[in-house]
Structure 1
Amino acid sequence: MQLALYGSIAWKHPFGFSQVLQWARQFGWDMVDARGMTVDIPGGVDRRLLAFGYDMLGPRQIRPSARETLRRRIDETGLSVLCLYCPAPLNLSGSLGCDSRELFREFLELAADLGIPWLRAINNTTEDYEGGEMSEAEAFERTVEGFRAVGEQAAELGVGILLENNENTTTSSPEDLLRMQAAVGDVCRVGIAYDPVNAYFQGHDPVAGLETLAGQIEVLHVKNVRRHEGHEFGYLPRGEFSYEWTSLAEGDLCWRTLLGCASSQGFDGPLTYEYVNPFKGMPPSYWEVLREPEEAAREEGVYLRGLVEELAGR
């Protein structure tokens, strides 16, 4: 298993993505996983700036010559970029939908220019961005249509599309992930990024999810949280509990068990460690009390390598 450091580690660092690369190289990570720029997505200013960070990479913010420079910088570190996420939803209708799909295509081109093999899709919710809601079935079918509309270009560019079990989206369950993959996989390369904590947020059993997706997981997302009955931690994805961000070793999920389960099913892919995910809705002041990101990059790299070595020694 290879270790990938998620770009959010430097979301509030003025050196941004360059700092992600530096910490990854300094602390022995194999690769990095990049966040996509949100300032051009549909919605109001609050939505666009909610999780803005200097680590973000966007097709409308990086000129062609700078893309060449960035790719050389990545190569010089000896690292690779596993994935870039794209926050442009694919299931909107009308001119809003056309604009959003065009932005998705531009993200595909950016990924190809930087040699990134995967573009991870997020933001395919039931919200129509015009004050209404779609049914779950309609949102799912529109998302399939959107993926198929951009899939041919993805195939031409050699960039695969990663589906993730983001909570409260069209792919929030393992079954939804597999249905979506089957519906789009004939057009382009489609993989699955499984996040056990997102499953926990959604009220699903993370181990059962691993079992359902056995042999189909391309990337595992690695983070940890502690569940609380009160609302003090601000993030209430299902309206019942709030969640506190923790180190990998201290939260409700046991990563030794989860990685052992995944390994027993043949998973040997990348592990993307998320220090924070600013989209999870905690108030800005909450993120300031977490340990220093440089410490997290060092400590969690040591922790994950220890678990991977344990698995290899079995």
Structure 2
Amino acid sequence: MMSPSTSSPFVPAAARARIAQLNRAQHPLSYSKLLERDTLQKALKNYKYPVLTLPSEVTSEIFVHFLPSYPKRTSFVGRCSPSLLLQVCREWRDVALATPELWSTFEVEMGYRDTSAVSTRRQLLLVEWLERSKDCPLSVELVCPTSESPAIAAALLDALVHHSHRWQDMKLVIAYQHLQRIAGSVPILRDLHLDAEWTDNPSPLQSFTFHAPSLRQLGLNAGVHFNTFKDVFPWSLITVFNGDLYEHEAALVLRSARALEQCKIMIDSESEETISVSPIPPLHHLKSLTLESEDAFKGHCWRMAIRVC
């Protein structure tokens, strides 16, 4: 008969297997078998898994290591989501919900063919995770470009903007007409990648306020319309830049971002004429510079990469 003893450790899986075997018996169990089953069931009920004997603080720290390393982020559902921790047992659920760091990094992607129910569910999850993250700095990738549901995209962005004082590392892929929604102060933002998708006849932003004193890494794509942002970013503090710019915009970045360490720019040709560019002063902190250009109409491209040891 299997039972816990001092000579052999109690193995829950083996106990459950033995109970299942006894329950499958085709004839009534003998007294000894009934006693064996009752003993195993009582032992299972009283058994305390070693992992559940850890202090909550230790379990919480282990859970945090479940998160992927930046710049990777978790998803609301799936094998890499901390939501799985809520399904293991009551103890783990309580610890996970009491660990705000678990819910402070995530990605949200709105698909073009999402149904209304799917979009609404995603919006509810976004709000839920933001509440669970409490006051933790946020690392979020939000992809809600131009779609058939601009209202849902705007609602997702507005929910996130409500916590912009906690933005730390952000990747935003949004429709151009929604850029004005992110205006404001982002005091702890250190890394921003901004990707705006053009719509038909977009109205240019007349003014834009974006106070980001801690910003050090910046990525911009062509749809962002550089002129809107050229006077709002702390260029003198930017150390890493990745962008899609016209020639004169690229020159402006290289003249203004004097602290640059890494820079990669895809240069879009503006015209057939040669453009006069003011001299670019020495970039004393620069470690790598990559300039690329591709002319889709002429079918040629060039790339220049410089690495400073």
More contact order relative to length (CA 8 Å, sep ≥ 6): 1
Instruction: Indicate whether the TM-score tops 0.5.
Output: no
TM-score if structure 1 supplies the norm length? 0.34
TM-score if structure 2 supplies the norm length? 0.35
Relative to its length, the structure with more helix (as a share) is 1
Relative to its length, the structure with more strand (as a share) is 2
